[in-house]
Structure 1
Amino acid sequence: MLKVTIKDVAKESGVSIATVSRVLNQVGFVSDEVRARVLATVERMNYQPNAVARSLKSDKTNIIGVIIPDISNPYYMTISKGIEDQIYQKGYNLIFCSSDESQEKERDLLQLLYGKRVDAIILSTSGGNEDLIKQIQKSGIPIILMDRKLDNMDTDFKIDIVKENSVRGAYELTKHVLELGHKKIGVVNGPMHISTGRDRYEGFVKAMKQYNLEIDTKYIVDGHFTQKGGEEAAKYFMTLPEMPSIIIAFNNSMSFGVLLELVKNGYHLSKDINLASYGELEAAQILRGTDIIYVRQNPYRIGETIGGIIIKKLVEGKRDTTEVFEFETELLVYN
């Protein structure tokens, strides 16, 4: 079936294309009789206006592009829910893209969203695309950084960012582990080219230095911020002559991978080995007696804050303001 065009609607209604356009866009004068006839034809023919064409005319799409590193991570989905709850009521919708922690894919997605004329972009960056981000922002499309910051950016370049104090969160988590008496600690960190990977490792190092403990690099593993990375890290620790007494995983996906692999191999948490997680573990809530230590994050509040920035820029017209929010985390234990 051929797609119905505005030209088809005009012909069937016995009016000009301009008249159909005035009816659909609710501008200019059209008699009640003609308006009713055009709308009836639109409904009968199931005509769908061309959104791209309309956006070119209005210079507005009411679409916000969101680029996240892992679309399966509940942390980012909760942030997205917070954003959507703020902006949907203002007539905006979200479209999601997953960069899979790839700088190249992130670059392609940024160019795609720029070409689609989205009204704003929310980005949890995998790094390395600072020049393109700067170019898009200067073109008039606001970019709000989510969870992660940029590197190698000009000091005079201003960009909104909503993130956590990852250094402090990782420091407090490691400090608590050390206070429990653990000395042999396995660490599953994220990639060091990503700001959260560096920041959380910095917090770990800070705590270790405070307790005058040396860092044994054979107990440090890059888990790539993924569940699979956590699983592979746990497998690696099992091959060592001496297992760590506790594993710290510096995001929720890696923590779940570690937990899954340990349980699969018959390890009993709090008896055979312990686990500390930067981020909540939904699975831990159904397990008893695990004593998993975790950093509780605030993803929904982060999303609400980002949504508020979007509204200020696109609805209230405050495009020249730049806001930086940094949330603190809380340390808890699953009993």
Structure 2
Amino acid sequence: MKVTIYDVAREANVSIATVSKVINNTGRISEKTRKKVKEVMRKLDYQPNLMASALMGKQTKTIGLLIPDLANPFFSELARSIEDRGHELGYNLVICSTDYQEEKENKYLTLLLQKRVDGFILASGFENLNKVEELIKDNIPVAIVARDFPMISVNAVALDDFMGGYIAANYLIDLGHKDIAIIASNVWSNRERLRGFKHALEEHNLKFRDDFEYITEINVESGKVMTIKYLSNANPPTAIFACNDLVAVGAIQAAKKLGINVPEQLSVVGFDNTIVATIIEPNLTTIAQPIQNMGKEVMDLMVSILNGDKQDITRLTLLPTLVERESTAKLTQQ
């Protein structure tokens, strides 16, 4: 049977509050009592529930934000928008980059709970469903941003990623492209964009390429490698939809390396509408996420949860839009 904080308190002959203070290293407790409680914890092999205990007490006005990759302009811009809104509302942000690694996610959650954050904002790329459920079970304020967990009841500000993929594919089809490749990673947002992309192809009776495979890292290099693979095929695509602006940049660079002109010979569409879309040459046509609005909405949602203003779960879904630039062209012009 699992040892509880009540067992430790009874064995040490102290109150539950005293045990909690020892666990969180807070309050005025004599060294003798602190030592006694720790000895009992070791004796009973008690594993404190850091998630439940760390949030006992007053608000610290600090929110933990877990971002998968701060080197990705989308996430850095999103973090900045959340942080700016937090400052307006009197809250500070502790930002952690998890590199899409579950081990780092768990490490930062535990660390931030020990630091007594008031709650968590978890960004797209956080795939650990069990951990989200654990946080909710322990009554820890949680809000998801730039993705959704439709299978559980959790507050979220998401993008309609399915619609984003659908818009991208339809746009390229309207330009006359029939053989369109996609570059995506195996994370929720990209899977939804892929689903929308496939749906648009099916509506127009177009075939999905059988040489598709998920990329393992979301960066420029992955875009280059996958594009070279596509363009080296006996039946190369005339257009590529990359589920991320960085990956799209890699696609454009790979095309240039192979002597293929963008957009005359290959159209490229990205996703996010980050600053890199206006830096790469030619400027990138992309599916825009409302990053500033997304950051504001999720911070407002988190504060309303912390203030006890919310009783029901809120799921806000924002819509993507197409931003047309110079990396795409009609097929008849190629």
Aligned to 1:113: 112
Aligned to 1:205: 198
Q: Matches of 1:83 and 1:136 in 2, distance apart?
A: 21
Which moved further from structure 2: 175-184 or 55-64? 55-64
Aligned to 2:292: 300
Q: Matches of 2:213 and 2:179 in 1, distance apart?
A: 11
Q: Secondary structure at the match of 1:114?
A: helix
Of 232, 236, 240, the residue aligned with 1:243 is: 236
CA contact (8 A) 1:70 1:100 kept: yes
Q: Indicate how the Cα distance of structure 1 residues 140 and 219 shifts in structure 2: closer, same or farther if over 3 A, else same.
A: closer
- Aligned alpha-carbon RMSD (Å): 2.4
Of 307, 314, 334, the residue aligned with 2:325 is: 334
Structure 1 residues without counterparts, runs of 5 or longer: 1-54
Q: Matches of 2:133 and 2:248 in 1, distance apart?
A: 34
CA contact (8 A) 1:122 1:146 kept: yes
Cα deviation for residue 201 of structure 1 reads: 0.8
Q: Matches of 1:56 and 1:278 in 2, distance apart?
A: 37
CA contact (8 A) 1:223 1:233 kept: no
Q: Matches of 1:330 and 1:189 in 2, distance apart?
A: 19
Aligned to 1:25: none
Aligned to 2:314: 323
CA contact (8 A) 2:55 2:113 kept: no
Tell me which amino acid in the other structure corresponds to 2:110: Q
Q: Indicate how the Cα distance of structure 1 residues 284 and 149 shifts in structure 2: closer, same or farther if over 3 A, else same.
A: closer
Q: How big is each residue's C-alpha offset from its partner over 1:71-112, in whole Å with a ceiling of 9 and x where there is no partner?
A: 111212222222222221333111111121223322332232
CA contact (8 A) 2:124 2:189 kept: no
Which moved further from structure 2: 124-133 or 80-89? 124-133
Q: Indicate how the Cα distance of structure 1 residues 58 and 127 shifts in structure 2: closer, same or farther if over 3 A, else same.
A: closer
Q: Secondary structure at the match of 1:218?
A: coil
Q: Please state if 1:95 is matched with 2:90.
A: no
Q: Matches of 2:70 and 2:64 in 1, distance apart?
A: 13
Q: Indicate how the Cα distance of structure 1 residues 170 and 113 shifts in structure 2: closer, same or farther if over 3 A, else same.
A: same
Task: Please list, as runs of the form range in 1=range in 2, the aligned pairs for 1:11-50 lying within 5 A after superposition.
Answer: none
Cα deviation for residue 330 of structure 1 reads: 1.1
Q: Matches of 1:180 and 1:174 in 2, distance apart?
A: 10
Tell me which amino acid in the other structure corresponds to 2:320: T
CA contact (8 A) 2:277 2:285 kept: no
Using structure 1 for the length normalisation, give the TM-score: 0.74
Q: Indicate how the Cα distance of structure 1 residues 128 and 89 shifts in structure 2: closer, same or farther if over 3 A, else same.
A: closer
CA contact (8 A) 1:291 1:333 kept: no
Q: Indicate how the Cα distance of structure 1 residues 238 and 259 shifts in structure 2: closer, same or farther if over 3 A, else same.
A: same
Aligned to 1:82: 81
CA contact (8 A) 1:161 1:325 kept: yes
Q: Matches of 1:113 and 1:328 in 2, distance apart?
A: 32
Q: Please state if 1:131 is matched with 2:126.
A: no
CA contact (8 A) 1:256 1:281 kept: no
CA contact (8 A) 2:277 2:283 kept: no
Tell me which amino acid in the other structure corresponds to 2:206: L
Q: How big is each residue's C-alpha offset from its partner over 1:239-298, in whole Å with a ceiling of 9 and x where there is no partner?
A: 32232111110122211222233334443211221101122253442566x474321210
CA contact (8 A) 1:106 1:126 kept: no
Q: Please state if 1:168 is matched with 2:167.
A: no
Q: Indicate how the Cα distance of structure 1 residues 219 and 259 shifts in structure 2: closer, same or farther if over 3 A, else same.
A: same
Q: Matches of 2:298 and 2:273 in 1, distance apart?
A: 21
Q: Matches of 1:138 and 1:320 in 2, distance apart?
A: 15
CA contact (8 A) 1:130 1:151 kept: no
Tell me which amino acid in the other structure corresponds to 1:176: Y
Aligned to 2:265: 272
Structure 2 residues without counterparts, runs of 5 or longer: 1-53, 327-334
Q: Secondary structure at the match of 1:173?
A: helix
Tell me which amino acid in the other structure corresponds to 1:200: R
Structure 1 segments, 4+ long, off by >6 Å, are none
Q: Matches of 1:308 and 1:284 in 2, distance apart?
A: 28
Q: How big is each residue's C-alpha offset from its partner over 1:17-65, in whole Å with a ceiling of 9 and x where there is no partner?
A: xxxxxxxxxxxxxxxxxxxxxxxxxxxxxxxxxxxxxx99953322111
Q: Matches of 1:56 and 1:274 in 2, distance apart?
A: 51
CA contact (8 A) 2:68 2:126 kept: no
CA contact (8 A) 1:189 1:222 kept: yes
Higher CA-based Rg: 1
Identical pairs, percent: 24
CA contact (8 A) 2:249 2:280 kept: no
Using structure 2 for the length normalisation, give the TM-score: 0.74
